[in-house]
Chains A and B, each alone.
Chain A
């Protein structure tokens, strides 16, 4: 089997029923696994933006992008890298704590500009925003205290400067 890598794909599509099925089928047919899928209406309500992170063999990617672009409801589908765009995601992390660990956890959270959302005798829940590597870093730092749950939104993105987002 050829190498499996993660790819970021963004799509600009018609805001119509059935669009997500048509898109998902392209991924599924070539054996791509979708890791995250974010979609919402764009500024122009006739269209939606979808960002997909998917794992699969790189050779197939070009073919899949063409297959996505071939769909009548897809205005465009492109691969992007983190350098191309401003890219953020949000995660909620629930970590186990007690009176001894609480201060240290708060310090770590502070260093990463996490927002504290909830606190109980045995848990603390934070909201983290940033790029994927930042979220991974927070997660790693909190791991030793016992992470109970992580819920992530998947990536959203916007173009830098005056440029219009074309991904």
Chain B
């Protein structure tokens, strides 16, 4: 009897649906046509993007906001190379993503044939794993492997490179999708001795601090963190990617530490006798100079990835495994210590060194962002781009819920914020989604305005428009005697008119007095996407600032007068 057959591409779409994939982000081309053909004949949704980088950031925003892998479908050669920035961005921040790339015919590989690119070769250092599929009957298994690898353990992006003759080949409909991955064991049993050691250290600490990072968010450890904080009365700092894991309005929350962290977070870190990192990798934005990071404090590191232990900062105790599971067992071993004096001190620091800016005079970015935060009451999902506005968003947008603040941390990819918001809105149709972007970064991926219109998404795009590549201008101002080089964004479009060209509603705010009124109007606007062009003070700088490579006690609260600043020693 003849077995029933279908194309490998058709089978692939079926497997994606079995994996729970709701939609694909991408743009077709020659070698991807068989897959797009199979897609057209299925019930799977496609979000057609205007550039493949946009597709990857959308998949990323979808993944970060929902916890489910984002899926990208692109063509070979330039289609695939356009995804690399988005893949690197996802890799740096441990975001689950599956990127399906069309590829030249298998017999043409390595011959510089039309639109052939060695996608595997170009991407090895920026993927969690990758596959080049040569046997069509292996495609179902490979797709399942890709999802398994992308979404388990420490999540990350996986590329599947699929030659056109593979995707269009006929395979038996019942081709098995089973697999075994003997080299991949992401879930190791938690060592209870390590947990007990950590529990003892926490129980006896006088001035402990928890630092929650993206790992805590990814593992879904919200309740577990809360339980430990409440039981032990330990103050919490959250990293840029850990925002929302513990409510920022909570008395014991100190916000973000590090280069542009809150003064009270950095001061508290300088005073603490124990810091417990829960899924944070002591990034150099926080540690400054890792060799001199908080010498007075003992350090505990909870992480799912053994590579991170002692990589940047030497720790006194490490526990490897899923953060949520570890915190669960940790809770049972903890003995309530006495942190009363410490908590008092923390509250005093918060009172004495609040984040501040002037509301009078020229419109300030901080004002716009803080007002947006107040008006959305912790309910909105916020994405940010990269630059000054990102740091102000981290400081002034109070994030109350996990997976509600999405930003490119590890990679610092300009152009991330807007497409990531599209992905987040698609994954969370009922939610208010706000993209806070700079005038520079927004222009890197703004062709996706067509995509928002096409998808009729009620997205709010808040442009913090300072007419500068502000963050770089700030460095040149502070450390290079204000010799501005390549940072003036003369030639920017009129963003409201630009919006109009796409049929998108535009708002503009120039005066402090109008902030609330305009933002309220934008939030109330329900007939599709809108842009808010906030023309803010051009020469404002982000403070506090710890110069890169320096220790936290070198924090500047404002620009020192009459004092030349040394060039920072850190990498960037």
Contacts and interface: CB of A to CB of B under 8 A. Distances in A.
A22 B183 CA distance: 14
B125 interface: yes
Interface string B111-131: 000000000110011001110
Contact of B310 (A62, A72, A74): A62
Contacts of A17: 132
Contact of A71 (B183, B310, B311): B183
Contact of B120 (A13, A18, A66): A18
Nearest to A14: B183
A70 B182 contact: no
A18 B132 CA distance: 10
Interface in A46-67: 62-63, 66-67
Contacts of B183: 13-14, 71-75
A72 B307 contact: no
Interface in B94-153: 120-121, 124-125, 128-130, 132, 149
A61 to B, nearest CB: 12
A25 interface: yes
A29 interface: yes
Interface residues of B, number: 19
A151 interface: no
B332 interface: no
B306 interface: yes
Given A21-B124, A29-B125, A72-B129, A67 B184 contact: no
Nearest to B129: A72
A71 B124 CA distance: 11
Nearest to A19: B183
Contacts of A14: 182-183
B188 to A, nearest CB: 11
Interface string B233-264: 00000000000000000000000000000000
Contacts of B271: none
B132 A67 contact: no
Contacts, number: 39
B501 interface: no
A49 to B, nearest CB: 14
Contacts of B149: 72
Given A21-B121, A22-B124, A70 B129 contact: no
B1 interface: no
Contacts of B540: none
A74 to B, nearest CB: 5
B305 interface: yes
A67 B181 CA distance: 17
A156 to B, nearest CB: 21
B125 A66 contact: no
Nearest to A69: B306
Contacts of B306: 66, 69-70
Contact of A25 (B125, B132, B184): B125
A66 B307 CA distance: 5
Interface string B287-312: 00000000000000000011101110
A73 B183 CA distance: 5
Nearest to A77: B183
A75 B149 CA distance: 15
A83 to B, nearest CB: 26
B305 A70 contact: yes
Contacts of B132: 17-18
Nearest to B309: A66
Interface string B149-191: 1000000000000000000000000000000011110000000
Q: 5 closest Cβ contacts across the A-B interface? A: A72-B129, A66-B307, A75-B183, A72-B184, A66-B306
Interface of A: 13-14, 17-18, 21-22, 25, 29, 62-63, 66-67, 69-75
Given A21-B121, A73-B183, A75-B182, 16 more contacts: A13-B183, A14-B182, A17-B132, A18-B130, A18-B132, A25-B124, A25-B125, A29-B125, A69-B306, A70-B305, A70-B307, A71-B183, A72-B128, A72-B183, A72-B184, A74-B183
28 contacts: A13-B183, A14-B183, A18-B124, A18-B132, A21-B121, A21-B124, A22-B124, A25-B124, A25-B125, A62-B310, A63-B307, A63-B310, A63-B311, A66-B306, A66-B307, A66-B309, A69-B306, A70-B305, A70-B307, A71-B129, A71-B183, A72-B149, A72-B183, A73-B129, A73-B183, A74-B183, A75-B182, A75-B183
